[in-house]
Structure 1
Amino acid sequence: MNLLIMGPQGSGKGTQAALLAKKYDIPHISTGDIFRENMKNDTELGKLAKSYTDKGELVPDSVTGDLVEDRLAQADAAKGFILDGYPRNAAQVERLDEILTKSGRKVEGVINLTADRTVLMERIAKRAEIEGRADDTPEAIEKRLAIYDKETAPLTKAYAERGIVLEVNGIGELDEITQAIVKGLESL
C-alpha cells in the first residue's frame, strides 16, 4: 500500500502515520527524517541538502526528490510506504509520479487530515512547550500554515481527481481517528 499523509502542521500526521505504518507493516517515511539521516551519515545527497540548510535556504525540489527517490528504493519500502511531508508542491507531485512509475507503482491513497486553525495553533504551542522547540513561535507557526494553505493544500485537488483522497477530521480521540482512516482506506 503506497500512501501519502497530508494536512497542516499540528493535524496529527506524524502520529497517525506511525500508527498506520505499524498496522500495515510499511515504513513511515518523513522527509524531515530523510534529511536528518542523510546529513548525519554525511551522504552525498546529505552534504548537498546541508549546503542549502546551512545558508537558511530551502532544499530545492530536485534535491528533495532525489532524497525521496533514494529512500523509496530501499528494501523496506518495496511492499509499500506512508510518505509524510512530500509532495509539498505541484512540481513534487510530478516528480513523485515519475519516481513511482519507474518501479511500476503509484500512489494508492492520500489521507488528508483536517483541523480547525485554532486547534492547530493550540496543539503546536503545546508541542513547543513540551519539546522546547524554539521554531514554534506563533509567528513562525502562522507563516508555515500560510505556506501550507498556499502551496500544499491545493495538491489534494489533484489527487481527488484521481479518486484517492480520504478526508479525515484530525480532531478527536486518537483511536477513533485511526479507525476512520483504516475504514476509509478500505473503501478506496
Structure 2
Amino acid sequence: MYFNSSAKIRPAVMVGLYEMEAVTAAFNEIAAGKQELKDLKIVSVKDIKAEGTSVLVLTVPYKQINAFHNAQAQFLPDLEKKLNAQVCIVGQHRAFPKTPEHGRRFKAIRNYGRTLRSVNDAILDDLVFPTAIVGKRIHYDVSGKQQTRVILDKHDATRVEERLNGFGAAYNRLTGLNTVFEVAQN
C-alpha cells in the first residue's frame, strides 16, 4: 500500500497511523512546489526510539530509491525540522529463502541480490546515504554473539556525528543485527 497526496489511509490497516499521517502531511507540504518530488511514494513508516531521540525510517519502493537519493538533499532537512525527528530513507528490499518453498512454480536459483546478506548490505547503504561506508568489521564475542562495526567517511563527520546512535538503533530494528556506527579517525 502506497501513500501519497491522493491515497486514503485506512485506520484498521495501519498500525502506526499517527506517524504515517504526520509524515505524509509534511512530505506533501514540502513537495507541493517541486516537480521531482511529486511522483515519489512512501510505503511505510517505522518510529524507533534511540537514547532520547526519535528516528523515523521511511520505506520507499525499490524502484524509486534512486529518485529519493537524488532529491534527498532538497527535502530531508525540511522534513526533519517539521517532524522534529531524525529521518532515514530505506528501499523496500526483499530476501528469498535458500531453498524454494514447497509447491512453488519456478524453482530457479536465487540471485545474489535476493540473499539476506545482500539485502542487509543494501539497507545499510540506504540508511547512511549520502555518507560513504569506508570499513566494516564483524567482532565475535567469546559467547558467540557478534557485533558489527561500521566505519563512516570522516569528511561527513559534522553531519553524521549526532546521527550515529540513530543509525545503530534503526539498523538493529530493521535487520536484527547489533551494530555500532563510528566515524573514521584519520
- Verify same fold: TM over 0.5: no
TM-score (norm 2): 0.30
TM-score (norm 1): 0.30
Taking CA–CA contacts closer than 8 Å with sequence separation of 6 or more, which of the two structures ends up with the larger relative contact order? 1
More helix by percentage: 1
More strand by percentage: 2
Instruction: Pick the structure with greater CA Rg.
Output: 2
